[in-house]
């Protein structure tokens, strides 16, 4: 049987497999998700939560924590952990383009989570780098990668004349 190539498995499936490892390896993990830095869900392993809503909230948490670490001279954001009355929310930067959130019960061993999740987050960051390679369709109908599309300078926006009323 031929070996499966990394590129043949969709990015979301590769990331979902990594997220499932978090729940398997750490007692007290309720679920997890990966999102883009602007809050779009990429993959999730959440049994009973709405991933779109959680992704948006996690992106906000990431943005705020990133700003706080920079403002206090602590460098680039890596992770933030919030403890609630019924459990934990841990948010991790996964490279430049992704965020990982882990939702834990009150039984979560945060130290074990930190130990187990580091390599998984690194692998998710590698997979997330492929997110910028999704094909887009140009105006002429030709397909090109998002990375190539981002290199094209945008057209200037049309200017509006002020109202004379």
* pLDDT average, residue stretch 101-109: 97
Q: How far does CA 132 lie from the centroid of its chain? A: 13
Asked whether the predicted pLDDT for residue 5 surpasses 80, the reply is: no
pLDDT at 155: 40
CATH code of the domain made up of 6-134: 3.30.450.30
Q: Hey, where are the domains in the chain? A: 6-134
- At residue 131, the pLDDT reads 75
Q: What is the pLDDT of residues 49-74, one digit of tens each?
A: 999 999 999 999 999 999 999 999 99
pLDDT category at 111 given cuts 50, 70, 90 is: very high
pLDDT-wise least confident of 24-33, 52-61, 138-147: 138-147
Q: Which residue has tokens 């993990």?
A: 29
Residue 19 near residue 44, CB atoms below 8 Å? yes
Average pLDDT, the chain: 82
* Alpha-carbon span 12 to 5, nearest angstrom: 15
Percent of the chain with pLDDT strictly greater than 90 = 69
Threshold 0.85, pTM exceeds: no
pLDDT reported for residue 162: 53
Q: What is the pLDDT of residue 132?
A: 63
- Whether the per-residue pLDDT at 7 is higher than 70: the answer is no
Per-residue confidence band for 117, with pLDDT thresholds at 50, 70 and 90: very high
The span from the CA of 79 to the CA of 71, in Å, is 16
Give the DSSP H/E element, type plus range, for residue 68.
helix 51-71
Average pLDDT of the segment spanning 133-151: 41
Beta-strand runs (E) in 62-140: 79-84, 87-94, 98-105, 135-137
Q: What does the longest C-alpha to C-alpha distance in the chain come to?
A: 74
Q: What is the rounded distance in angstroms from the CA atom of residue 120 to the CA atom of residue 126? A: 10
């Amino acid at each position: 049987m031929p070996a499966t190539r990394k590129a043949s498995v969709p990015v979301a499936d590769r990331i979902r497999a990594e997220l499932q490892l978090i729940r398997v390896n750490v007692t007290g993990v309720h679920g997890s998700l990966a999102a883009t830095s602007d809050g779009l869900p990429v993959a999730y392993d959440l049994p009973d939560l709405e991933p779109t809503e959680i992704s948006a909230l996690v992106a906000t948490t990431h943005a705020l924590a990133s700003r706080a670490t920079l403002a206090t001279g602590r460098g680039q954001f890596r992770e933030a952990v919030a403890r609630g009355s019924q459990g934990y929310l841990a948010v991790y930067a996964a490279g430049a383009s992704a965020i990982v959130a882990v939702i834990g019960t009150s039984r979560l061993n945060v130290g074990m989570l930190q130990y187990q999740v580091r390599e998984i987050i690194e692998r998710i960051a590698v997979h997330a780098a492929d997110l910028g390679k999704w094909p887009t369709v140009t105006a002429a109908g030709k397909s090109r990668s998002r990375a190539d599309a981002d290199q094209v300078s945008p057209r200037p926006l049309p200017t509006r004349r002020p109202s004379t009323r």
